[in-house]
């Protein structure tokens, strides 16, 4: 351990190599219910060359490396369950090259989406992938993040044109490029997007960007029940070409926002819609259609908002929902589901989730990207060990329903350590290909071990049952969960 720290300090300035308990604790947990674990050391590289040397060292010494962006992921992704090095990209946050006429930008992975958009705005451009947190571009690529605007623009994988990455032994590779499309052989860029730091460490991204729309309107509607929100969402998605966002919140989520943000939105199942484009007439046509569809099912349009600050106020209900739900439940310890189902299955899936919550007597709150058939049930955990058991059973029932109806266990959050068994089930026989891919890219299983592919599936004697790095798990040193 002393040797490791000394070797890292030869690679970078010593103030960028930290073994302090508070820094390690910040890198030990995410927003989920998963038990925190301390890394042995946290490093803050500034260049790809430094990352390459760190990985070469880790590879030679067989030390686990866990890439860390903003730590906002929700399935234990960044928890160093076998100790080792937490690789924090906060200082690799430069915009490298903006090409407005090509609609591309190249940036280091530590830049957050907010910073990127502040750089793009003056050029009349923006990057549309918007997970609720101000996540890093690297974390977003590694989880194939989506968010509310994925309805129109798609998730991260659609926007990463090329990337620079460092593979487990320290070799620097480049995939893709600046062209807007490519059919050049196996899609390594697409493979690394969504790989959660388990195959390689991404250091730079070339991203597709877009012109800001001239006209935007937001609509706030309440519906008689959650199933009606699902039904309307399906119709609007099919019928409105200008729809950018179609989001749902159940009444528990609205009540949590009202209590925490001191707002007074009606406590009903809620649909938030955004239409955008360059043509006012096209948007107005879609707006009229939306209002008809909402009225036909017994819903009420509460507000139609054209001005930017009014829209921001309205959307803040949705953007703040997850944190408000946690604050309202007085615990950040939540099990969160992330299923996505085909649009025609959304009503059934919402109905089933509601019934499941009632059966287990859990007061969960629901929010979701309804236009994508993706919704999250947030299940708060109390102080009893049985709370986790009940929440996990409830989560499992929701996942089983989604899988039985053509859906997926994860629409956007990824697998981390919390959804490995669901992924195994979802992939079936193809799961062995995932194991093969992991072995090929990361022979010694040092890259974010225990995530996406379980240690037992890799038959890794070092990691099974806590293994070689067990001394890194020092529970008594950890600060208590907030």
Ligand X SMILES: Cc1cc2nc3c(=O)[nH]c(=O)nc-3n(C[C@H](O)[C@H](O)[C@H](O)COP(=O)(O)OP(=O)(O)OC[C@H]3O[C@@H](n4cnc5c(N)ncnc54)[C@H](O)[C@@H]3O)c2cc1C
Work out how close the CB of 348 gets to ligand X at its nearest, in angstroms, rounded to a whole number.
23
- Tokens representing 72? 């906002």
Write the CB contacts of 414 (distance below 8 Å, at least 6 apart in sequence): 73, 75, 77, 142, 143, 144, 194, 196, 452
Among residues 87 and 240, whose Cβ is nearest to ligand X?
Answer: 87
Work out how close the CB of 271 gets to ligand X at its nearest, in angstroms, rounded to a whole number.
17
Burial (0-12, 13-18, 19+ Cβ within 10 Å), 309: exposed
Among residues 8 and 111, whose Cβ is nearest to ligand X?
Answer: 111
Q: Which residues bind ligand X (CB under 6 A)?
A: 31, 66-74, 77-78, 89, 109, 131-133, 135-136, 138-140, 142-143, 145-147, 196-197, 201-202, 322-323, 412-413, 448, 451
Strands 85-88 and 172-176: unpaired
Work out how close the CB of 320 gets to ligand X at its nearest, in angstroms, rounded to a whole number.
8
Among residues 197 and 234, whose Cβ is nearest to ligand X?
Answer: 197
Work out how close the CB of 141 gets to ligand X at its nearest, in angstroms, rounded to a whole number.
7
- Contact criterion met (CB below 8 Å) for 424 and 431: yes
Among residues 18 and 299, whose Cβ is nearest to ligand X?
Answer: 18
Three-state DSSP state, 33? coil
Find, among 178, 241, 181, the residue nearest to 205 by Cα.
178
Among residues 196 and 345, whose Cβ is nearest to ligand X?
Answer: 196
Report CA-CA distances (Å) from 170 to 40, 51, 77, 251, 309: 20, 8, 22, 50, 47
Q: Which residues of 162-184 are buried (b: 16+ CB within 10 A; e: fewer)?
A: bbbbbbbebebeebbeeeeeeee
Among residues 109 and 353, whose Cβ is nearest to ligand X?
Answer: 109
Work out how close the CB of 212 gets to ligand X at its nearest, in angstroms, rounded to a whole number.
21
Work out how close the CB of 456 gets to ligand X at its nearest, in angstroms, rounded to a whole number.
19
Residue facing ligand X at closest CB distance = 139
Distance CA 376, CA 249 (A): 10
Work out how close the CB of 415 gets to ligand X at its nearest, in angstroms, rounded to a whole number.
9
Find, among 88, 197, 208, the residue nearest to 445 by Cα.
197
Work out how close the CB of 280 gets to ligand X at its nearest, in angstroms, rounded to a whole number.
29
Task: Output phi, psi for 205, to 5 deg.
Answer: -130, 140
Work out how close the CB of 376 gets to ligand X at its nearest, in angstroms, rounded to a whole number.
8
Distance CA 345, CA 133 (A): 28
Among residues 128 and 139, whose Cβ is nearest to ligand X?
Answer: 139
DSSP 381-401: --SSHHHHHHHHHHHHHHHHH
> Strands across the sheet with 65-68, in order?
17-18, 41-43, 85-88, 65-68
Burial (0-12, 13-18, 19+ Cβ within 10 Å), 130: buried
Among residues 202 and 287, whose Cβ is nearest to ligand X?
Answer: 202
Among residues 165 and 294, whose Cβ is nearest to ligand X?
Answer: 165
Among residues 287 and 375, whose Cβ is nearest to ligand X?
Answer: 375
Query: What is the rounded radius of gyration, in angstroms, for the C-alpha atoms of the chain?
Result: 22
Count CB atoms within 10 A of the CB of residue 384.
9
Give bridge partners of residue 43 from the DSSP assignment. Answer: 17, 87
Work out how close the CB of 358 gets to ligand X at its nearest, in angstroms, rounded to a whole number.
25
Work out how close the CB of 34 gets to ligand X at its nearest, in angstroms, rounded to a whole number.
12
Among residues 45 and 230, whose Cβ is nearest to ligand X?
Answer: 45
């Amino acid at each position: 351990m002393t040797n490791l720290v000394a070797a890292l300090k030869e690679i970078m300035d010593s103030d960028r190599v930290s073994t302090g308990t508070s820094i390690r604790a910040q890198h030990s947990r995410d927003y989920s219910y998963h038990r925190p674990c301390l890394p042995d050391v946290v490093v803050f590289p500034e260049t790809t060359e430094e990352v390459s040397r760190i990985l070469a060292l880790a590879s030679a010494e067989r030390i686990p490396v866990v890439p860390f962006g903003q730590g906002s992921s929700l399935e234990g992704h960044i928890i160093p369950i076998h100790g080792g090095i937490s690789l924090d990209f906060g200082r690799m946050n430069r915009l490298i090259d903006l090409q407005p006429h090509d609609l591309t930008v190249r940036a280091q992975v530590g830049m957050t989406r907010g910073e990127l958009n502040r750089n793009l705005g003056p050029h009349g451009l923006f990057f549309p992938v918007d997970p609720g947190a101000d996540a890093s571009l690297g974390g977003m690529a590694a989880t194939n993040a989506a968010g509310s605007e994925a309805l129109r623009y798609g998730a991260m994988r659609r926007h990463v044109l090329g990337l620079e990455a460092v593979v487990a032994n320290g070799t620097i590779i480049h995939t893709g490029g600046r062209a807007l499309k490519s059919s050049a052989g196996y899609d390594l860029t697409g493979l690394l997007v969504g790989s959660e730091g388990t195959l390689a460490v991404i250091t730079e991204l070339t991203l597709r960007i877009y012109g800001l729309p001239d006209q935007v309107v937001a609509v706030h509607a309440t519906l008689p029940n959650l199933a009606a929100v699902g039904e309307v969402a399906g119709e609007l998605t099919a019928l409105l070409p200008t729809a950018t966002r179609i989001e749902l919140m159940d009444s528990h989520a609205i009540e949590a926002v009202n209590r925490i943000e001191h707002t007074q939105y009606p406590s009903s199942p809620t649909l938030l819609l955004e239409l955008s484009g360059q043509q006012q007439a096209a948007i107005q046509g879609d707006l009229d259609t939306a209002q008809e569809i909402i009225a036909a099912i017994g819903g009420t349009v509460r507000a139609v908002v054209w001005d930017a600050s009014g829209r921001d106020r309205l959307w803040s209900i949705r953007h703040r929902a997850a944190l408000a739900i946690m604050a309202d439940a007085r615990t950040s310890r939540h099990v969160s589901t992330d299923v996505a189902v085909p649009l025609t299955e959304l009503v059934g899936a919402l109905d089933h989730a509601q019934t499941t919550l009632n059966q287990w007597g859990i007061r969960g709150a629901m929010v979701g990207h309804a236009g994508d058939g993706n919704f999250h049930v947030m299940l708060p955990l109390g102080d009893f060990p049985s709370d986790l058991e009940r929440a996990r059973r409830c989560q499992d029932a929701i996942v089983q329903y989604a899988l039985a109806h053509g859906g997926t266990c994860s629409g956007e959050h990824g697998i981390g350590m919390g959804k490995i068994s669901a992924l195994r089930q979802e992939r079936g026989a193809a799961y062995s290909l995932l194991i093969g891919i992991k072995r090929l890219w990361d022979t010694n299983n040092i890259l974010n071990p225990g995530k996406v592919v379980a240690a037992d599936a890799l038959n890794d004697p070092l990691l099974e049952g806590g293994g070689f790095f067990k001394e890194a798990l020092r529970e008594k040193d950890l600060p208590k969960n907030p």
